[in-house]
């Protein structure tokens, strides 16, 4: 196992950008940027990674204090290094960030931190791109946008303008002490919302959780984590979301050693569940009457995975212990049978709202022809419609696993291969050119062509 001891390794600090020309420029040094740097290094592609902050910054300052990885350490990692942790354990967020930093050091990744890419434009009269950064201008033949799937926290326009309420996005949530005295409404019950709501409930707060459509896999079943089941059943490799499930979140948690998310259990522990948040008017919040349906569809998804797992075990004659108790359900709580459709915030004592409502991407810096009318990147497995521009880490870039730690590593390999192949085409010289170049004693252009 690779030693994660920081002291033994060279440091990544904010450094000036020495190069003004580079073959491939990677923007962002999260897991996606580190992954492609490894593949490009192996293929001998000259490249530079620019990171505006620190390596894996999102895992340091973009997540709440108690967050641990959603997948076990044996699964949520790159192939080239293990975590210094029980393989079935869940790495705390700082350990995940340290992991990527150590991983980058392992192959001496050419990363410059503290440099922001401000603008990328295609050159009008020669191949490649001009890249304006906070540390000067660089010319690059290719640009890989590895700036992450979750760049801009999204709060829906229904959010009330009410100064008596503290409102934050899950990206700004750190711990229960941050919130004022009183009850809290958590909007969104994907992995972030449900974990934050659970933490607030355990801290003694009155918690209302607004639950929309979700998938809810068992944390583990028959001695195997759900990450294993999704792997062997081919579900991580699904290329597109099932029709109608494009906006369905997945509610999982690695907290306290990992447990299945069960909304009815949370209700039994004192959490009040409500349906999708509809509107705020005159200090009253209204909810859709869809809570029971959302829970039922979450149960369906849960039970379908148990069924698929059981038939996989039978088909392959595996010796995995049966687990009938996984099919037991908690009784229907009152908040489901008699749903709350309206709530007076002041009367309910709600003083804060946590919006766990997801993120958008922001490619305003990438001013090239690689986006559709809605501003969505146009690409095939990360290879964009604009030659020389690549994307990594986007949801469903090639498959369901594309935003996850292990998934982006495989996508990065494909993108790096494409870059290496394009370099071969660009380097090709016909017989006449080869003769001329031999005559010119092997001078070579520093920027080879991208059409
Ligand atoms: C709460 C939460 C928990 C998650 N838990 C897990 C998990 O347990 N397991 C898992 O596999 N996945 C998890 N994910 C999903 C995913 O692994 C992370 O979102 C991960 O951070 C994505 O990595 P990335 O490299 O694609 O993007 P990021 O980590 O966001 O990295 C992008 C980098 O680009 C930099 N950048 C952006 N713009 C510029 C610019 N213009 N110039 C220079 N630099 C720039 C940013 O500073 C950033 O460091 C989680 C996501 C969230 C939100």
Q: What is the pLDDT of residues 139-194, one digit of tens each?
A: 999 999 999 999 999 999 999 999 999 999 999 999 999 999 999 999 999 999 99
Residue 210 in any domain: the answer is yes
207 DSSP 8-state letter: E
Asked if 368 and 340 sit in the same domain, the reply is no
Asked if 260 and 305 sit in the same domain, the reply is yes
Asked if 95 and 16 sit in the same domain, the reply is yes
H or E stretch including 336? helix 334-337
**pLDDT tens digits, residue range 256-288?**
999 999 999 999 999 999 999 999 999 999 999
Q: How many CB atoms lie within 10 A of CB 195?
A: 26
Asked if 328 and 387 sit in the same domain, the reply is no
Asked if 192 and 310 sit in the same domain, the reply is yes
Instruction: Give nearest CA residue, ligand 1 atom 37.
Output: 147
Q: Find the range with the poorest average confidence among 7-21, 65-79, 242-256, 265-279.
A: 7-21
Residue length, the chain?
451
How far is Cα 220 from Cα 414, in angstroms, rounded to an integer? 31
Phi, psi (degrees; rounded to nearest 5) at 77: -160, 170
Rounded to 10°, the helix 93-106/31-42 angle is 20
Question: How far does the centroid of ligand 1 lie from the alpha carbon of residue 54, in Å?
Answer: 12
Whether 57 has a pLDDT exceeding 50, the answer reads: yes
How far is Cα 40 from Cα 168, in angstroms, rounded to an integer? 39
Residue 437 in any domain: the answer is no
Domain count for the chain: 2
Assigned token pair, 197: 């709501």
Q: For a pocket test of ligand 1, which of 55, 147, 225, 391 has the largest count of ligand atoms closer than 8 A to its C-beta?
A: 147
Pocket of ligand 1 (CB under 6 A): 27-33, 50-53, 57-59, 63, 67, 69-71, 76, 116-117, 146-150, 192, 365, 393, 403-405, 408
How far is Cα 187 from Cα 275, in angstroms, rounded to an integer? 10
Strand order in 183-187's β-sheet? 166-169, 350-355, 183-187, 207-210, 272-274
pTM: 0.93
User: Which domain CATH number covers 179?
Assistant: 3.50.50.60
Residue 9 in any domain: the answer is yes
Q: How many CB atoms lie within 10 A of CB 293?
A: 12
What is the model's pLDDT at position 383?
98
Question: How far does the centroid of ligand 1 lie from the alpha carbon of residue 131, in Å?
Answer: 22
**Percent of the chain surpassing pLDDT 90:** 88
217 — pLDDT class (breaks 50, 70, 90): very high
How far is Cα 19 from Cα 104, in angstroms, rounded to an integer? 19
- Residue where one domain finishes, among candidates 355, 376, 399: 355
What is the model's pLDDT at position 450?
34
Asked if 168 and 27 sit in the same domain, the reply is no
**pLDDT tens digits, residue range 94-122?**
999 999 999 999 999 999 999 999 999 99
Asked if 140 and 222 sit in the same domain, the reply is no
14 DSSP 8-state letter: B
Residue 450 in any domain: the answer is no
Residue 445 in any domain: the answer is no
Higher pLDDT, 449 or 153: 153
Residue 399 in any domain: the answer is yes
Residue labelled with tokens 């594309």? 402
Whether 360 has a pLDDT exceeding 60, the answer reads: yes
Question: Of 281, 266, 160, whose CA–CA distance to 207 is shortest?
Answer: 266
Q: Which domain holds residue 18?
A: 2-151+361-427
């Amino acid at each position: 196992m690779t030693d994660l001891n920081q002291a033994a390794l060279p440091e990544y600090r904010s450094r000036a950008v020495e190069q003004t020309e580079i073959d491939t420029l990677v923007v962002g040094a999260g897991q996606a940027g580190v992954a492609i740097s490894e593949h490009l290094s192996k293929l001998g592609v000259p490249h530079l990674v620019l990171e505006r902050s620190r390596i894996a910054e999102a895992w340091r300052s973009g997540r709440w204090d108690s967050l641990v990885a959603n997948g076990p350490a044996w699964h949520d990692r790159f192939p080239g290094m293990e975590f210094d942790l029980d393989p079935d354990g869940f790495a705390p967020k700082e350990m995940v960030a340290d992991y990527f930093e150590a991983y980058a050091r392992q192959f001496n990744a050419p990363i410059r931190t503290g440099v922001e890419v401000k603008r990328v434009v295609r050159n009008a009269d020669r191949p490649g791109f001009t890249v304006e950064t906070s540390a000067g201008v660089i010319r690059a033949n290719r640009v890989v946008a590895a700036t992450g799937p979750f760049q801009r926290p999204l709060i829906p326009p229904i959010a009330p303008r009410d100064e008596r309420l503290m409102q934050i996005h899950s990206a700004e949530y750190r711990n229960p002490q941050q919130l004022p005295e009183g009850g809290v409404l958590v909007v969104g019950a994907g992995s972030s919302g449900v974990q934050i709501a659970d933490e607030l409930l355990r801290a003694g707060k009155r918690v209302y959780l607004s639950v929309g459509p979700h998938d809810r896999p068992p944390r583990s079943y028959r001695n195997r984590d759900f990450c294993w089941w999704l792997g062997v059943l081919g579900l991580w490799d699904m290329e597109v979301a099932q029709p109608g499930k494009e906006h369905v979140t997945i509610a999982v948690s690695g907290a306290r050693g990992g447990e299945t998310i069960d909304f009815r259990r949370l209700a039994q522990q004192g959490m009040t569940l409500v349906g999708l948040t509809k509107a705020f008017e005159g200090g009253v919040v209204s909810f859709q009457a869809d809570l029971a349906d959302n829970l039922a569809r979450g149960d369906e998804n849960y039970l379908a995975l148990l069924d698929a797992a059981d038939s996989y075990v039978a088909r392959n004659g595996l010796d995995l212990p049966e687990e009938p108790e996984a099919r037991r359900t908690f009784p229907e709580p009152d908040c489901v049978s008699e749903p709350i459709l309206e709530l007076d915030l002041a009367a309910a004592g709600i003083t804060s709202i946590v919006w766990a409502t997801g993120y958008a991407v922001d490619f305003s810096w990438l001013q090239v022809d690689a986006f559709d009318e809605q501003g969505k990147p146009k690409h095939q497995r990360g290879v964009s419609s604009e030659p020389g521009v690549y994307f990594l880490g986007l949801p469903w870039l090639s498959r369901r696993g594309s935003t996850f730690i292990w998934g982006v590593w495989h996508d990065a390999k494909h993108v790096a291969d494409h870059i290496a192949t394009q370099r071969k085409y660009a380097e090709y010289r016909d017989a006449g050119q080869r003769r001329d170049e031999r005559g010119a004693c092997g001078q070579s252009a520093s920027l080879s062509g991208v059409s």
